[in-house]
Amino acid sequence: MLEVRGLHAAYGEAEVLRDVSLTVPEGRIVALLGPNGAGKTTLVKAIARLIPITAGQVSVGEVDLQRLPRHRVVEAGVAIVPEGRRLFTQMTVEENLLLGAYSHTARASLKETLALVYARFPRLEERANQRAGTLSGGEQQMLALGRGLMATPRFLLMDEPSLGLSPLLTAQMFALIEGVTELGVGVLLVEQNVARTLEIAGYGYVLEQGRIVQEGDREALLGSERIREAYLAL
């Protein structure tokens, strides 16, 4: 279980997250919805310890992530597929994947994980020696997901993985995300594509101006006025 409790975060004086609490169970997809600027990316980064938090707690099982040095968060089981992909663009596809398995925990099963990722993304295997920066947008997004999986995470934080993808690729991406849960990985999924997201997510949270304003399972969210009006344009 990935648990966030009473989390606050700020950029300088401006408080961006206020008292955010949420839970991601293993093997489930949890959606994080909200308008632009709500603080979704900030929340993802705060969980991965890429930015400091001002109050609150983030834990995986018994492990308090705040107590770990930044580079050990991945060993606790949290990997990230960040907004804008942020690949190591000058390194090859395979080097990016190997870097995904950099941690001590992931390195033990490197060969098997690599085979598994290549089986799921044959495109990446074809282009193993190509520089990541020269991949198409869709391929880059797959690589970002593949890199995240290489860390053998228990929880994957995915920030707008369908951004900029064609409808066909978006459908593929969502199928791949669903596939991730079969590995027992819990996914926190930030998405603009709310309709699609609520097809695969069992539970969701709505973040507005840094606060969780609503949460519930799929049916509750689909039935809610706020969601229908603001996010589904029904």
Partner 1 sequence: MLILLQTLATGIVLAGLYSLFAIGLSLGWGLLHTINFAHFSFVLLAAYVTYELSTAAGWDPVVTMVVTAPIGALLGLGLQLFVTTFKIDVFGTLIVTFGLFLIFEAAMAMRWTADLLRLPSEINPYFTSAVRIGPIRVSMLLTIATALAVLACVGVWWLLKHTRTGRGIRAFVQEPEMAAAFGVNYPQLSLVIAGIAGATAGLTGTILGMYLSLTPTVVEVWIAVVFAVVLLGGLANPIGVMGAAFVIGMVESFTRQFADPAMARLMALVVLIIVLVFRPEGLFKRLVQEARE
Ligand X SMILES: Nc1ncnc2c1ncn2[C@@H]1O[C@H](COP(=O)(O)OP(=O)(O)OP(=O)(O)O)[C@@H](O)[C@H]1O
Least distance between ligand X and beta carbon 45 (Å): 8
What tokens does 4 get? 């966030």
| Candidate residues 6, 37, 167, 179; the one interacting with ligand X per rule CB under 6 A | 37
CB of 102 to partner 1, least distance (A): 4
- Contact string (CB under 5 A) for Mg ion, positions 58-97, x = contact: -------------------------x--------------
Residue 37 interacts with, from Mg ion, partner 1, ligand X, none (CB under 5-8 Å by kind) = ligand X
41 is an interface residue for Mg ion by CB under 5 A: yes
Q: Which of 31, 39, 35 is nearest to 15 (CA)?
A: 39
- 95 near partner 1, rule: CB under 8 A: yes
Count of residues for the chain?
Answer: 234
Does 189 interact with ligand X (rule: CB under 6 A)? no
Least Å distance, CB 109 to ligand X, is 32
Phi, psi (deg, nearest 5) at residue 106? -75, -30
Dihedral sign of CA atoms 164, 32, 86, 92 in order? negative
* CA–CA distance, 101 with 203 (Å, rounded to integer): 29
- Measured from the CB of residue 202, what is the shortest distance to partner 1 in angstroms? 26
Q: Helix or strand or coil: residue 177?
A: helix
46 binds ligand X (CB under 6 A): no
The answer to whether 139 and 83 have CB atoms below 8 angstroms apart is no
What the block records as the tokens of 230 is 């603001």
Question: What would the x/- binding string for ligand X be over residues 64 to 93, using CB under 6 A?
Answer: -------------------x----------
Q: Which residue in the set 35, 104, 136, 166 belongs to the binding site for partner 1 (CB under 8 A)?
A: 104
CA distances (Å), 181 to each of 10, 95, 146, 176, in order?
32, 25, 14, 9
Report the distance separating Cα 96 and Cα 75, nearest Å: 18
Q: Which residues bind ligand X (CB under 6 A)?
A: 11, 16, 34, 36-42, 83
